[in-house]
């Protein structure tokens, strides 16, 4: 009898222990769940406080900026200082970049306006500056054309349609005619089908053209006065000067060709001769022709 009662007690004890263990696990899980919930609520509260503070800062800052800067009449534009280098007139400038008297100086976007002006084909440099409290200064530097691109010697200059290049080889098309443009040398024999205003001349001869122009127009020693550069005969250039003398240059060893030219010009000056043609490409025995010497008869 005693053994039977002992064996009946063991399952009950195990059952109670298992029940107690399950209760502890459940309580532990509930505790972890509550801790996670409190942690999540704390994070959410911090994020909400951050965005509330951020919004208050933004709207408060915007209000202060409007009050003291963007809507302050003391900063309305009242004066324009413009140095436009004959590229645009002041009304044209104002219309082009949306600049007008009375607008707030801080609402005018300098970077956008400056880029727009810099992209104009005839503008080399553009600079815009705010002068507080109420002035805007605009400075333009125009591209100065040095050569005119012509399909043929008979191609006349047409304002806004004829193409020219500056000393950087950038293509421009002046809209106004002046006497200086008509005196520019012409570059002939190039294809004008792939030309883009405000962009460098897309032609393999461009470096040679610019180097030749700079060499012959050295301010300290102008050798000849060019009237045209003809590339129709190949990669070399035939330069015609104001006296209609023709000089043939090649793209290589340009400095040596200029030395030969200087010697020829010195010879002509010393011997009272006039050149008709000179091929300066050949290093030795430079082919030249002279104009006939005029003999004056004394009666």
Quick: pLDDT tens for 82-109: 999 989 999 999 999 998 888 888 888 9
pLDDT digits (tens, 9 = 90+) for 44-72: 677 777 667 666 565 555 555 454 445 77
Nearest-angstrom CA–CA distance, 271 and 262: 14
Given this model, what pLDDT does residue 1 score?
A: 45
**186 within 8 A of 153, measured Cβ to Cβ:** yes
pLDDT band at 232 (very low <50, low <70, confident <90, very high): confident
Confidence of residue 122 (pLDDT cuts 50, 70, 90): very high
pTM above 0.85, yes or no: no
With beta carbons less than 8 A apart as the criterion, state whether 117 and 126 touch. yes
CATH number of 145-290: 3.40.50.11690
Q: What is the average pLDDT score of the chain?
A: 83
Peptide bond into 133 cis (omega under 30): yes
User: Which range has the worst mean pLDDT, 18-22, 125-129, 175-179, 203-207?
Assistant: 18-22
Question: What's residue 297's pLDDT?
Answer: 52
Return the CATH number of 73-142, one of 3.40.50.1980, 1.10.1060.10, 3.10.20.310, 3.40.50.300.
Answer: 3.10.20.310
Encode pLDDT of 151-167 as tens digits: 877 788 888 889 999 99
Write the pLDDT tens digit of every residue in 1-17.
445 555 555 556 655 65
Structural domain boundaries in the chain: 1-71, 73-142, 145-290
Rounded mean pLDDT, 165-188: 91
CA 51, distance to chain mean position in Å, is 41
Contact 146, 183 (CB under 8 A): no
What tokens does 178 get? 């002046």
- The residues, any chain, with a CB within 8 Å of residue 247's CB and separated by 6 or more, are 224, 238, 239, 240, 241, 261, 275, 277, 278, 280
Cα separation, 141 vs 150, whole angstroms: 25
């Amino acid at each position: 009898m005693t053994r039977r009662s002992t064996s009946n007690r063991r399952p009950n004890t195990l059952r109670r222990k298992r029940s107690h263990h399950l209760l502890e696990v459940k309580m532990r899980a509930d505790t972890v769940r509550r801790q996670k919930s409190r942690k999540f609520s704390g994070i959410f509260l911090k994020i909400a406080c951050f965005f509330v503070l951020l919004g208050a800062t933004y709207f408060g800052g915007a209000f202060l900026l409007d009050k003291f800067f963007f809507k302050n009449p003391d900063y309305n534009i009242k004066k324009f200082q413009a140095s436009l280098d004959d590229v645009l007139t002041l009304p044209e400038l104002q219309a082009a970049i949306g600049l007008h008297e009375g607008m707030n100086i801080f609402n005018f976007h300098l970077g956008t306006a400056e880029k727009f002006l810099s992209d104009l084909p005839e503008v080399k440099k553009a600079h815009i500056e705010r002068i507080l409290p109420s002035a805007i200064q605009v400075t333009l530097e125009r591209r100065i054309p040095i050569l005119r691109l012509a399909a043929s010697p008979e191609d006349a200059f047409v304002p806004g349609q004829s193409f020219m290049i500056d000393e950087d080889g950038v293509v421009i098309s002046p809209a106004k005619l002046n006497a200086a443009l008509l005196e520019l040398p012409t570059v002939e024999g190039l294809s004008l089908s792939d030309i883009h205003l405000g962009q460098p001349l897309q032609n393999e001869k461009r470096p040679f053209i610019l180097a030749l122009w700079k060499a012959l127009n050295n301010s300290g020693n102008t050798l000849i006065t060019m009237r045209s550069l003809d590339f129709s005969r190949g990669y070399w250039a035939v330069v015609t000067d104001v006296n209609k003398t023709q000089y043939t240059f090649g793209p290589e060893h340009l400095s040596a060709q200029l030395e030969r030219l200087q010697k020829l010009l010195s010879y002509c000056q010393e011997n009272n001769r006039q050149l008709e043609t000179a091929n300066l490409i050949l290093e030795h025995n430079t082919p030249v022709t002279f104009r006939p010497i005029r003999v004056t008869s004394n009666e």
